[in-house]
Amino acid sequence: MLSPQMEILMLKRLKQPAWIVLVSTMLIANTVHAATQEKLSINKNGIKVWTYQVENNPIMRYRAETIVNTTLENAVGLILDTEKGKKWIPYVSDLSVIERNDTIGKFIVYMRLDFPFPLSDRDLVVEGKLSKLSDGRIVFKNKSIVDARVPVKANIVRIQQYEGDWVFQKLAAQQVKVSTSGFADPAGAIPLSFVNNFVQQQPYQMLQRMKQQVKQSHYSSNDIPEVLR
């Protein structure tokens, strides 16, 4: 494992495109109200991204949204498909289910992020809770947890602070509003200036890739948990 000083030194040599995808999947969100005013950082290709900070935390948070031309079931099914996730979520080298209960809408997954040299890889254990609101919206609430079944591995930095939400709202038979908001502390020696600079790029890249991937997917109500039907 590289020393913190070496990671910081080498990070300065990375080009921008690598950093855009570097923090993908790791910074998926919570819905805590901002202590500072939101800024519309990106508004293009039908995707909007707002960034903001909360008190006593220097790491930026974001919320983002877009409209996807597909069914509600197809959009939700794509997010729940862990095997497919390894193909479209940048730098995810392992995304495996530890526990899943479709009756109550709960899951625990392990995720490993294969970062480019010279960064150390990151990993985390995520607990998710799925629910369907009275207005038909489907909500995923995720957070990092400690799980004895997944011990910390050598040469991988374990992400301890992570919270995230996804919200899916059906607008028409073939139209879904997808919203995500997020925060995570990537830990280790990633300079704050780099993280905050690309927090606004990460959700844009994520939603853009999702919109492309969903065109190749064909999930139905049979592919989503009972609690969401």
The C-alpha atoms of residue 90 and residue 113 are separated, in whole angstroms, by 8
Q: What is the pLDDT of residue 13?
A: 45
CATH number for position 140: 3.30.530.20
Could you give the 3-state DSSP secondary structure of residue 148? coil
The C-alpha atoms of residue 95 and residue 87 are separated, in whole angstroms, by 10
The C-alpha atoms of residue 229 and residue 11 are separated, in whole angstroms, by 45
- Looking at the structure of the chain, the number of domains it has is 1
The C-alpha atoms of residue 83 and residue 109 are separated, in whole angstroms, by 12
The C-alpha atoms of residue 226 and residue 175 are separated, in whole angstroms, by 22
Q: Which residue has the higher pLDDT, 183 or 44?
A: 44
pLDDT at 127 over 90: yes
* Other CB atoms within 10 Å distance of the CB of residue 65: 18
Q: What is the pLDDT of residue 89?
A: 77
Which domain, by its residues, includes 33? Answer: 4-228
The C-alpha atoms of residue 126 and residue 197 are separated, in whole angstroms, by 25
Summarize pLDDT for 181-201 with one digit per residue, the tens.
988 888 777 777 666 665 677
Q: How many CA atoms lie within 13 A of 182 on its CB side?
A: 30
Q: How many CA atoms lie within 13 A of 204 on its CB side?
A: 17
Q: Which residue has the higher pLDDT, 205 or 73?
A: 73
Q: Which residue has the higher pLDDT, 203 or 36?
A: 203
- Are the C-beta atoms of 190 and 115 separated by less than 8 Å? no
Q: Averaged over 195-216, what is the pLDDT?
A: 83
- Residues 6 or more apart from 13 whose CB is under 8 A from it? none
